[in-house]
Amino acid sequence: MEQDVKQLQFTDTVPVLMLPSQRKHLLLPNVNVAEFVPASSLQPVAEGPPWLLGMMEWRGQSIPLISFEKLNGDPMQDEDAGSGQVAILNGISGRAGLPFYGIRCYGIPRQARIAKEDLKTDDHAEPGRVELSQVRLAGDAAVIPDLEIIEAQISRVLMN
């Protein structure tokens, strides 16, 4: 019985979410995503870069909302930053003042459980500025974002 419980708790698969951006899907472990919420009104950040869409209220705190595409240097269509869905991400870097931040999503996230062998690295793709790698999951193209670099960029702007 105890051995059965251990097998259930320790598997070789990871629950992930595919977050749709305008042109790509971001692949993140479920534990990185705190919640999905509708985009709310934004407070602009004085002299903030174009990728920092503004500050939004979430659970009684003000958190930054970013555009992954703009931060990554991808071309994108103009769209109202205050509409649609936002993935609230848990900060992973331990930076003071950045326990959470939001990434603008353009559709409904998809859940999956993946094993390492399910991911195929796209060796011909050139990763963007804030991408660890581009991969294929069950034939679908996806991007693994570099959350450390993303958080460093957000912190750099917010601390100035």
Given pLDDT bands bounded at 50, 70 and 90, which one contains residue 103? very high
Instruction: Confirm whether 82 is domain-assigned.
Output: yes
Instruction: Confirm whether 3 is domain-assigned.
Output: no
| pLDDT reading at 102 higher than 60 | yes
Q: Measuring CA to CA, which residue among 148, 157, 160, 159 is closest to residue 52?
A: 157
In tens, the pLDDT along 21-31 reads 888 899 999 99
Instruction: Confirm whether 122 is domain-assigned.
Output: yes
The parent domain of residue 85 ranges over 14-159
Mean pLDDT of the chain, nearest integer: 86
| pLDDT reading at 85 higher than 80 | yes
Instruction: Confirm whether 7 is domain-assigned.
Output: no
Own/partner pairs for 37-45, CB < 8 Å, 24+ apart? 37/85, 37/86, 37/88, 37/102, 38/84, 38/85, 38/86, 39/65, 39/81, 39/82, 39/83, 39/84, 39/85, 39/86, 39/104, 40/82, 41/82, 42/81, 42/82, 45/157, 45/158
SS3 81: coil
* Residue 144 pLDDT: 94
Instruction: Please state the rounded mean pLDDT for residues 138-157.
Output: 92
Instruction: Confirm whether 127 is domain-assigned.
Output: yes
| Number of structural domains found in the chain | 1
Higher pLDDT, 51 or 97: 51
Instruction: Confirm whether 8 is domain-assigned.
Output: no
- The CATH code of the domain that includes 118 is 2.40.50.180
Instruction: Confirm whether 18 is domain-assigned.
Output: yes
Instruction: Confirm whether 9 is domain-assigned.
Output: no
In tens, the pLDDT along 1-13 reads 344 444 444 468 8
Supply the pTM of this predicted model.
Answer: 0.86
